């Protein structure tokens, strides 16, 4: 059993239990975006969360629990340029606005990066008379280049 096999198993159990990621996150008391990413194979879960999730999903062998708490190889199995339209729009934003964001980060903070490790992400629905909007907030620590 690889982590990819386990992800598939989790998705099947979630479908069978008819649970949303939001519901799983609120039941075990973790952040929704973080937990979704973790269950999709991008973060390790601590032992307590692993147990709670597996139990909720009706899974839970020792192997599954151990595997779920291991640091995964992130980003494997994701397309370099995503074909799915929902994912592609995020990639497109990077192409159109990436160089502008780089220029402005340097104007605002100097030479460095927005950390993707000391980092969190939120997704919100914002009501709007012209059609509701998706608001995604990336929030990362600025790390200055430091020799």
Among 10, 56, 105, 129, binds a copy of itself (CB under 8 A): 105
**What number of CA atoms fall less than 13 Å from residue 127's CA on the CB side?**
1
CA distance linking residue 58 with residue 81, whole number of Å? 35
Among 27, 47, 48, 73, binds a copy of itself (CB under 8 A): 73
Compose the 18-57 pattern: x for residues touching a copy of itself by CB under 8 A, - for all others.
Answer: x-xxx--------xxxx-xx--x-xxx-------------
Asked if residue 141 binds a copy of itself (CB under 8 A), the reply is yes
CA distance linking residue 13 with residue 25, whole number of Å? 15
Asked if residue 127 binds a copy of itself (CB under 8 A), the reply is no
Strand, helix or coil for residue 45? coil
Annotated active-site positions, please?
Answer: 89, 92, 115
């Amino acid at each position: 059993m690889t982590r990819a096999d386990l992800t598939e198993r989790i998705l099947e159990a979630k479908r069978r239990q008819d649970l949303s990621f939001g519901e799983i996150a609120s039941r075990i008391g973790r952040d929704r975006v973080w937990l979704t990413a973790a269950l999709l194979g991008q973060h390790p879960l601590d032992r307590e969360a692993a147990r709670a999730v597996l139990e909720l999903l009706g899974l839970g062998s020792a192997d599954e629990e151990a595997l779920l708490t291991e640091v995964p190889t992130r980003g494997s199995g994701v397309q370099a340029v995503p074909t799915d339209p929902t994912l592609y729009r995020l990639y497109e934003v990077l192409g159109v606005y990436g160089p502008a964001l780089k220029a402005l980060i340097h104007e605002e903070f100097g030479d460095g990066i927005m950390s993707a490790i000391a980092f969190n992400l939120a997704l919100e629905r914002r009501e709007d008379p012209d059609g509701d909007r998706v608001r995604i907030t990336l929030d990362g620590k600025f790390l200055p280049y430091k020799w």
